[in-house]
Amino acid sequence: MFALGALRVVQTGLSPDEVVAGLRRVTVTGGLFALDRPKPGSPPLRGSIDGLRFSIVRRSQFKNSFTPIVEGVVVPGEVGSQVQFQLGMHLVPLVTMAVWLFSMLALGVLAAQHSALGEMALMLVGVALLGPVVGFVAYRADVAAVVEELSLAVTAGPDVG
């Protein structure tokens, strides 16, 4: 995972075991990239929970390579626990966006060097910038939802639902 942001912390009055049980309640075991269509009422997250560590993504109705990956750990405290996590993007979509941007900008530069293709160069630069914008919008659309689902799971306890 390529982390895209600061470490986030959710403080809860639940014990680490209760937090992990709450996470298990809302998480389907599976790979971070899987084509599963969640049914209404099914768990909203997918991933793995190993002891106090977890790696999850939000399940969505469509294939979204830009869905945030959440990696975190439950840290026991004197009273309750802390859930520390970071959101990030898988390396494959990140590299794909970099290759896309470089390729389109290189084509734009080549087109700009030929006076007859000047308008095409402008279009290629616009298209080159459109790809990362679409990726960023897709990523940001899921950030709030996955943080909310995670926060509810680790503060509500295992018996809610």
pLDDT digits (tens, 9 = 90+) for 8-52: 999 999 999 999 999 999 999 988 777 777 788 889 899 999 999
pLDDT tens across 103-131, in order?
877 877 777 777 666 677 777 777 778 87
Q: Give the start-to-end residue ranges of the domains of the chain.
A: 2-89+142-156, 93-131
| CATH superfamily of the 2-89+142-156 domain | START domain (3.30.530.20)
Question: Strands (DSSP E) along the chain, which ranges?
Answer: 2-3, 8-12, 27-29, 45-50, 53-58, 69-76, 81-89
Q: What is the pTM of this model?
A: 0.76
State the Cα angle at 17 between 15 and 21, rounded to 5°: 120
- Could you give the 3-state DSSP secondary structure of residue 35? coil
**How far is residue 100's CA from residue 65's CA, in Å, rounded to a whole number?**
15
pLDDT band at 63 (very low <50, low <70, confident <90, very high): low
Amino acid occupying residue 116: A
**How far is residue 97's CA from residue 102's CA, in Å, rounded to a whole number?**
9
pLDDT of residue 60: 75
Query: What integer is the mean pLDDT of 143-160?
Result: 81
pLDDT tens across 71-82, in order?
999 999 888 999
pLDDT of residue 52: 95
